[in-house]
Structure 1
């Protein structure tokens, strides 16, 4: 290794405790997320917050996941979460009870929301940009591993302080995913297991039915994007019968590894970045992270690129598959809240719904089971009107296909009455008569 870089590394190295002392009242912390979350550093900062050593510090990001001990009502005035997606139950509870904040934004727009509206006018040093990374290589580069996400745009701002947490368990993943030591202000070390999610259990009968309906509509040679959830992962396994698939996605999960190892996901027919699996973050098993390590087939890119609809559309036969929570009879889709209660976040659903429909031969599918069981009994998830306070994640103007276990409704080119009939046709049979009556009242 170049001795110059070794000396610079030593100068910039700090203990976790000393690096945490860099945080001052009024700071913004832009933190990388998922398996690239700097857990040791965030825990050290959280300890200072619980000791009330500073006030009005805001965490910005996509989480957190493993560093959550400090997310408490009494800590909120000192260190608060402003998240754009809720991965864990603890963050979801905090948002809904008011001791964490939610940031509504499309995933693809988030990097520039941070740089142009949050960071740009801050005094120098008031924004700390942090990430977990691989050990430094011989050329002085660190890799942000499984999640470039929004980190690099913020790290490049002249008024930010960049702190990296070296974790020897991080995989080295190619792509738009590297930062040089000359761009880094401080370095800490913390080797620990990466954030991972358990294997998805066997799908429900409804999930299997939905996956089978999708399978019929995905052609050989398509480029796929699978959203978060059990059904997309199940579909990933069933796609083993297809040929020459490609991948352009935000989240890279276990299904992609499975299909690549079978030779199904080879990217031969991709029209953008052929033979490359492109994503902006990974969330899966440790085995998937190990598979990504130094794998030339995998490229991690910034979310401002992966989630740009005009980039997505350059993949011919682009197919996006995402989950929804509720759909009304005109095609308005809620995927992030249950009434006013937040459940997840906007994520990249709209980015890929729009981008896939701009693609030659592209298709967009939004999937949901036809019913849900609540404390008051079973309810239909195809509804006359969305619940009061529900967030419209995908507006009806953008919706292509809606899929339940009872069928597929294609809404493009349909007027409101036609849409209502299509959607009633894929609702659970027990609710169709009631939905028809309600549609009449709405003149649908």
Structure 2
């Protein structure tokens, strides 16, 4: 802070509070929006939980995406179930654990949303009274960085009635639309704590078999969006011999780093934001966060822009790779519900399924292993068990399992059913054929 202008330094000190002091300033707040994932501020959340227990504030409806363990331990606890209504727009492992701990499926009220609309939902359809988010330390010009999370933070921070930031030296400073000026916040607290880390499991043999089929269909010069999971990571690992790849992706993950460092992913042949690696949120390990810090080739922008299909399509040769939980015989895809239980959310999958296919020579892949529950059930099903459609059948392009890859575009319902049965696990194909006949699909 020594090189900071004296006026900015005075403003910083004037707005600095201890966590419990900052939380007491939201006493009249009914809606609290939290940053997403790594941007969720642990000290502010813990202080909020204490104030709720002491009935100094609240009750609160809390809106967020991808809850962390810090959120689960502080605000998603059973003793606060009468003081907190969690309303996530995307569920994480921590959210599911909180649901199981509470014993009530209805306590956490899931809000369906596509990621590119999250900023609008949180500022137009929900009253953005208060916003808590983690930021990097202030620079000499008076700017903090949203670092790992441009997503909806860049949209909400300028619409919320009260903004309180948690300054954390572990948050990287990133470029793009990630800057927040000291004049735009009401209060700040200081709390240094390593960001949450998501260490991916090594891809399985099945993941590799699925990924190989996708890698074969990715060309030099393609621009990629890669989702989360074993198959997407295996796809990235299989691209080391490609050239001049680009990145326009909602997620920036550790598996992308080696491709950028080696020059395989350089953005040289992108037709939009050439030479820049575009993302809206990053999640990984400490090495990833260090790689992001002060790296001018990597730029973060709000999901309302990154995930907008009209923006995605501006890159020729756009390729989208995502995962699914199940697909029915007409091509409808469910990526967010297990039976009657919410599992995750739409996120940005449909944004990129539509945006990639709309691009010149664009391709969209949805990958899933053919079975689940130790090979006891088929993920290719006559009807979606949860009744939730993430990707409508009209939008689905390539579907990939370990048994093959099919392009559903232009296929009739009978052709789709037969094609999907052909890439189901062999032990389920006969039963699927009978179901397709009984349903009048073939």
State TM-score, norm by structure 1: 0.95
Per-residue deviation at 1:178?
Answer: 0.3
Is contact 2:52–2:59 with CA below 8 Å preserved after alignment?
no
Measured against aligned partners, the alpha-carbon deviations of 1:256-297 in whole angstroms (never above 9, x if no partner) come to 111101110100001110111101100011101100111111
1:328 aligned residue: 328
Per-residue deviation at 1:25?
Answer: 5.1
Distance 1:386 1:92 in 2: 24
1:83 aligned residue: 88
Equivalent residue for 1:426, pick from 423, 427, 438: 423
Alignment of 1:297-336 (within 5 A): 297-336=297-336
Equivalent residue for 2:401, pick from 404, 418, 431: 404
Distance 2:155 2:203 in 1: 38
Per-residue deviation at 1:91?
Answer: 4.0
1:123 aligned residue: none
Residue aligned with 1:266, SS: coil
Unpaired stretches in structure 1, ≥5 consecutive residues: 121-126
Distance 1:97 1:143 in 2: 36
Alignment of 1:79-228 (within 5 A): 79-91=84-96, 93-94=98-99, 97-119=105-127, 127-157=129-159, 160-198=161-199, 200-228=200-228
Is contact 2:204–2:230 with CA below 8 Å preserved after alignment?
no
Distance 1:225 1:46 in 2: 37
Distance 1:432 1:243 in 2: 39
1:68 aligned residue: 72
When the two chains are superposed, the root-mean-square deviation of aligned CA atoms in Å is 1.5
2:414 aligned residue: 417
Is contact 2:275–2:297 with CA below 8 Å preserved after alignment?
yes
Distance 1:339 1:220 in 2: 40
Equivalent residue for 1:55, pick from 36, 58, 74: 58
**Aligned length, in residue pairs:** 433
Residue aligned with 2:291, SS: helix
Measured against aligned partners, the alpha-carbon deviations of 1:53-112 in whole angstroms (never above 9, x if no partner) come to 333301111132022223123312212211111122444542862222111000001100
Distance 1:152 1:302 in 2: 6
Is contact 1:148–1:177 with CA below 8 Å preserved after alignment?
yes
Distance 1:97 1:230 in 2: 28
Distance 1:205 1:135 in 2: 43
Residue aligned with 2:239, SS: helix
Per-residue deviation at 1:35?
Answer: 1.8
Is contact 1:20–1:44 with CA below 8 Å preserved after alignment?
yes
Residue aligned with 2:188, SS: strand
Measured against aligned partners, the alpha-carbon deviations of 1:25-59 in whole angstroms (never above 9, x if no partner) come to 55211111222221111111012223343333011
2:346 aligned residue: 346
Per-residue deviation at 1:7?
Answer: 0.8
1:30 aligned residue: 33
Measured against aligned partners, the alpha-carbon deviations of 1:314-371 in whole angstroms (never above 9, x if no partner) come to 0110000000000000001000011120111110000000000110010000110000
Distance 2:326 2:97 in 1: 19
Is contact 1:244–1:268 with CA below 8 Å preserved after alignment?
yes
Residue aligned with 2:231, SS: helix
2:270 aligned residue: 270
Is contact 2:20–2:51 with CA below 8 Å preserved after alignment?
no
Alpha-carbon spacing, 1:180–1:271, altered in 2? closer, same or farther (3 Å): same
Is contact 1:86–1:343 with CA below 8 Å preserved after alignment?
yes
Distance 1:188 1:22 in 2: 13
Distance 1:322 1:180 in 2: 35
1:383 to 2:391 alignment = no
State TM-score, norm by structure 2: 0.95
1:3 to 2:6 alignment = yes
Distance 1:196 1:307 in 2: 23
